[in-house]
Amino acid sequence: YWQADVNRDRIYDFYAKEAEHFRGKLLVGEQMPPVLMAYPGLDGGEQGHWGNQNEETWASDGWNHVVLGRVQSGVFRDGAQTIMRSVCVQLGKDRELACMFDPETLTYRQVWRGKFLKFSGVRHGFLGGVTMAGEPVAFADNGKTAIAAGEIKTKKYRGFYRNGDRIVFVYEINGDIYRDSPWVVDGEFQRSVSLAAFTAKGLDIGQPQRIWQRTLQSNVEHGDQKPYATDTLKLPRENPWNVPFFGTGIGFLPDGSALLATMHGDVWRITNYEYPSRQATWQRFASGLHQPLGIVVDSDGVFVICRDQLTRLVDRNGDGEADYYECFSNQFTTSAGGHDFICGLERDAEGNFYTAVGGQGILRISADGAQTDIIATGFRNPDGLGLTVDGVLTVPCAEGTWTPASMICAVRTGQQRVGHFGFPGPRGEEVPDLPLVYLPRGVDNQAGGQQVVQSKRWGPLTGQLLHFSFGTGKMFLVLRDDVSGQLQGAVVPLPGDFLSGTHRGRFSPFDGQLYVTGMQGWGSYTPTDGCFQRVRYRGGNVQQPLGIHTYRNGVMVQFSEKIDEATANEIESHFAMSWNYRYGGQYGSPEYSGKHFGMQGHDYVAIKSASVVDDGRSLFLEIPDLQPVNQLYLRLQIGKGQFRELFVTVHALDEKSFIEAEGLVALDHKPIAPHPILADLALATRKVPNPYVEELADARAIEIQTGTNLSFQTRSFQVNPGERIALTLKNPDVVPHNWALLAPGTLREVGDLTNKLISDPDAMVRQYIPQTKAVLAYTDIVLPRESFTIYFTAPTQSGNYPYLCTFPGHWLVMNGEMIVR
3-state secondary structure 389-457: CCCEEEEEECCEECECCEEEEEEECCCCCCEECCCCCCCCCCCCCCCCEEECCCCCCCEEEEEECCCCC
Domain assignment present for 786? yes
Number of domains in the chain: 4
Same domain (yes/no): 128, 234: no
User: Residue 8's pLDDT is what?
Assistant: 96
Return mean pLDDT, the chain: 96
Burial of 30 per CB tally in 10 Å (0-12, 13-18, 19+): exposed
In the DSSP assignment, the letter for residue 373 is E
Confidence of residue 197 (pLDDT cuts 50, 70, 90): confident
Arithmetic mean of pLDDT, 277-302: 99
Sign of CA pseudo-dihedral 716, 718, 724, 728 = negative
Same domain (yes/no): 388, 427: yes
User: Residue 338's pLDDT is what?
Assistant: 87
The string of pLDDT tens digits covering residues 6-48 is 999 999 999 999 999 999 999 999 999 999 999 999 999 999 8
CA atoms of 450 and 615, how far apart (whole Å): 31
Task: Give me the domain span that covers residue 573.
Answer: 5-49+543-683
Arithmetic mean of pLDDT, 441-447: 97
CA atoms of 325 and 197, how far apart (whole Å): 17
Sign of CA pseudo-dihedral 738, 440, 587, 363 = negative
User: Residue 735's pLDDT is what?
Assistant: 82
Arithmetic mean of pLDDT, 578-605: 94
Same domain (yes/no): 519, 580: no
The string of pLDDT tens digits covering residues 309-365 is 999 999 999 999 999 999 999 999 999 988 899 999 999 999 999 999 988 999 999
Amino acid at 116: F
The string of pLDDT tens digits covering residues 706-761 is 998 889 999 999 999 999 999 999 999 878 899 999 999 999 999 999 988 877 87
Same domain (yes/no): 660, 752: no
The edge-to-edge listing of strands for the beta sheet with 486-493 is 447-452, 465-469, 475-483, 486-493, 642-650, 629-639, 575-579, 603-604
Number of H helices, E strands in the chain: 5, 56
Of 360, 385, 357, nearest in space to 249 by CA = 385
User: Residue 759's pLDDT is what?
Assistant: 73
Same domain (yes/no): 768, 702: yes
Domain assignment present for 813? yes
Domain assignment present for 382? yes
Same domain (yes/no): 127, 83: yes
List residues bridging with 631 in a β-sheet: 579
Report which of residues 164 and 549 the model is more confident about. 549
Same domain (yes/no): 597, 693: no
Arithmetic mean of pLDDT, 461-479: 98
The edge-to-edge listing of strands for the beta sheet with 618-622 is 545-551, 554-559, 618-622, 609-613
Same domain (yes/no): 572, 522: no
Domain assignment present for 57? no
| Alpha helix stretches (DSSP H) within 576-731 | 676-685
Q: Which pairing describes strands 279-286 and 216-221: parallel, antiparallel, or unpaired?
A: antiparallel
Residue count (the chain): 821
CA atoms of 738 and 281, how far apart (whole Å): 69
Q: Give pairs for 217-224: CB < 8 Å, separation 24+.
A: 217/279, 217/280, 217/281, 217/282, 218/279, 218/280, 218/282, 219/278, 219/279, 219/280, 220/273, 220/277, 220/278, 220/279, 220/280, 222/275, 222/276, 222/278, 223/536
Domain assignment present for 392? yes
What number of other Cβ atoms are within 10 A of residue 424's Cβ? 14
In the DSSP assignment, the letter for residue 527 is S
CATH number for 678: 2.60.40.1220
Predicted confidence (pLDDT) at residue 809 exceeds the cutoff of 90: no
CA atoms of 207 and 218, how far apart (whole Å): 31
CATH number for 754: 2.60.40.420
Domain assignment present for 384? yes
Confidence of residue 690 (pLDDT cuts 50, 70, 90): very high
The string of pLDDT tens digits covering residues 644-677 is 999 999 999 999 999 999 999 999 999 999 999 9
Of 682, 568, 591, 670, nearest in space to 626 by CA = 670
Predicted confidence (pLDDT) at residue 207 exceeds the cutoff of 80: no
Q: What is the pTM of this model?
A: 0.91
The string of pLDDT tens digits covering residues 114-172 is 999 999 999 999 999 999 999 999 999 999 999 999 999 999 999 999 988 999 999 99
The string of pLDDT tens digits covering residues 605-633 is 999 999 999 999 999 999 999 999 999 99
List residues bridging with 622 in a β-sheet: 554, 609
Q: Which pairing describes strands 711-712 and 700-707: parallel, antiparallel, or unpaired?
A: antiparallel
Non-local CB neighbours of 689 within 8 Å, separated by 6+ positions: none
CA atoms of 407 and 444, how far apart (whole Å): 9
Same domain (yes/no): 449, 596: no
CA atoms of 94 and 577, how far apart (whole Å): 67
Non-local CB neighbours of 185 within 8 Å, separated by 6+ positions: none
**Domain's final residue, options 641, 667, 683:** 683
Same domain (yes/no): 97, 244: no
Of 233, 232, 267, nearest in space to 248 by CA = 267
**Domain's final residue, options 503, 537, 571:** 537
User: Residue 50's pLDDT is what?
Assistant: 87
Domain assignment present for 214? no
The string of pLDDT tens digits covering residues 377-420 is 999 999 999 999 999 999 999 999 999 999 999 999 999 999 99
User: Residue 209's pLDDT is what?
Assistant: 85
Same domain (yes/no): 393, 284: yes
95 Rama sector, left if φ>0, alpha if ψ -120 to 50, beta otherwise: left
CA atoms of 115 and 132, how far apart (whole Å): 8
CATH number for 408: 2.120.10.30
Same domain (yes/no): 495, 617: no
Non-local CB neighbours of 452 within 8 Å, separated by 6+ positions: 386, 387, 388, 389, 463, 464, 465, 466
Exposure string for 509-534, b = 16+ CB within 10 A, e = fewer: eebbbbbbbbbbbbbbbbbbbbbbbb
Domain assignment present for 279? yes
Exposure string for 66-87, b = 16+ CB within 10 A, e = fewer: bebbbbbbbbbbbeeeebbbbb
User: Residue 48's pLDDT is what?
Assistant: 85
- How far from 375 is each of 354, 370, 381, 415, CA to CA, in Å? 10, 16, 16, 8
Radius of gyration of the chain (CA): 31
CA angle 131, 136, 140 (to 5 degrees): 125
Q: Identify whether the C-beta of residue 591 lies closer than 8 Å to the C-beta of residue 600.
A: yes
What share of the chain has pLDDT > 70, as a percent? 99
Q: Identify whether the C-beta of residue 545 lies closer than 8 Å to the C-beta of residue 492.
A: yes
User: Residue 199's pLDDT is what?
Assistant: 66
